[in-house]
Structure 1
Amino acid sequence: MLSKITPSAGKLLISEPFLNDPNFKRSVILMAEYGEEGTIGFILNQPSSLLLKDLVPDLGQADFPIFIGGPVEVDTVHFIHRCYDKLNSGEEIANGIYWGGNFETLKILVDNNDISENEVKFFLGYSGWSAEQLEEEIQANTWIVSGKYHQDILFSHNEEELWRKVIVNLGPKYAHISNFPSDPSLN
């Protein structure tokens, strides 16, 4: 009912308004990999209390926020970026958006203040689905798939409003969903 767009790398997964899973409540996920083996993505709007300098001690001045990418392998650090011209590495997952790259080069750029928060976003862990699992969840109206967004939304630090903005951006057919309360009993 909600989503008719085919999922693929670079598209967004937007959780339905009343999803009860605490890992994905009002989540916006960027799909980094999609294929027969399954899907990998990163939750864009779940900040942690950590900063990059907490995870990489030799980057003592790195105040980049760390986001919870998802509940899988939460002891791993991932990043997306839109500065291939500086990193010269990463897998392009959408037009001008890259996943990963040379972390040593990234550390130098961060340490020299040659990269900013609106160019790179860091995640602990990731969200993952086995083959066919995501399709089943989309069929059950758990997720809306969207390929319609501006790159800036991926690097937004207004986590509270990100889900709402992405829903409204889908157009008038979906805009009313953005006003649903997070707890339906409050309606």
Structure 2
Amino acid sequence: MEENPQSQIKPGTLLISEPFLQDENFVRSVVLLCENNEGGAFGLILNKLSILKVSELIDRLSFLDSEVYVGGPVEQNTFHFIYSGECMLEGSISLGNNLWWGGDFNQLEQKIINSEVNLDYIRFFIGYSGWSEGQLEEEIAEKTWIHTPCTEAESLFTSSPEELWRIILKNMGGEYQIMANYPIDPRLN
């Protein structure tokens, strides 16, 4: 009996784009799944830098030179964040393994202003990746996405965005370790 793919894909799962995916929004992307329910799925691309800094988007944090990532092609006028460590904000949603999504942004601003947080373990995003009901499961069935649980949240913050896709595949071992070395253009192989 085949297992329901949605039952496997839980928040905190990493979605790794297959090596030859040509969708410009998701080429060599690693997406952190934050929500997956009957209404659809929501995630954030972890390795796509924008040209913006937090200081350009949030007035109270005009001193903060932290990079902002493109969370996905949907609603790029929205601002999101994840962090690793102990829960430090009201309303943060646990993604497992000391990884948190969102929470009270006013609290976060104040903690940043008071130097009470380690900025190395916070990542900011504009936009997000979204899937309608059943769409993500269809894409997984079509092998658009490789999925794995996020077991080492800290490495999401310490690995360079350019290398994150390759690092995660290599760490998965076996056939995925081989995929990590595929060229972007298969004609070059």
Distance 2:87 2:183 in 1: 42
Residue 155 of structure 2 is matched in structure 1 by 153
Listed one character per residue, the Cα deviations across residues 103-157 of structure 1 (whole Å, up to 9, x for unaligned) are: 1111111122222232211110100001110111111110001015311122235
Residue 177 of structure 2 is matched in structure 1 by 175
**Contact 1:168/1:175 (8 A) holds in 2:** yes
Residue 129 of structure 1 is matched in structure 2 by 131
Distance 1:186 1:173 in 2: 20
Partner secondary structure for residue 118 of structure 1: helix
Distance 1:165 1:149, change over 3 A: farther
Residue 110 of structure 1 is matched in structure 2 by 112
**Contact 1:148/1:170 (8 A) holds in 2:** no
Distance 1:124 1:148, change over 3 A: closer
Distance 2:187 2:91 in 1: 48
Gaps of 5+ in 2: none
Residue 16 of structure 2 is matched in structure 1 by 14
Residue 68 of structure 2 is matched in structure 1 by 66
**Contact 1:6/1:145 (8 A) holds in 2:** no
Distance 1:174 1:119 in 2: 27
Number of residues of Structure 1 aligned to a counterpart in Structure 2: 184
Residue 145 of structure 2 is matched in structure 1 by 143
* Structure 1 residue 88: Cα displacement: 4.3
Distance 1:94 1:64 in 2: 24
TM-score normalised according to structure 2 size: 0.91
**Contact 2:53/2:67 (8 A) holds in 1:** yes
Partner secondary structure for residue 136 of structure 2: helix
Residue 48 of structure 2 is matched in structure 1 by 46
Distance 1:172 1:157, change over 3 A: closer
Match of 1:99 among 101, 116, 131: 101
The percent of aligned pairs where both chains have the same amino acid is 42
My pick for the range that moved more, 79-88 or 146-155, is 79-88
Distance 1:133 1:163, change over 3 A: same
Partner secondary structure for residue 87 of structure 1: coil
Partner secondary structure for residue 119 of structure 2: coil
Matched letter for residue 160 of structure 1: E
RMSD, matched Cα: 1.6
Partner secondary structure for residue 76 of structure 1: strand
TM-score normalised according to structure 1 size: 0.92
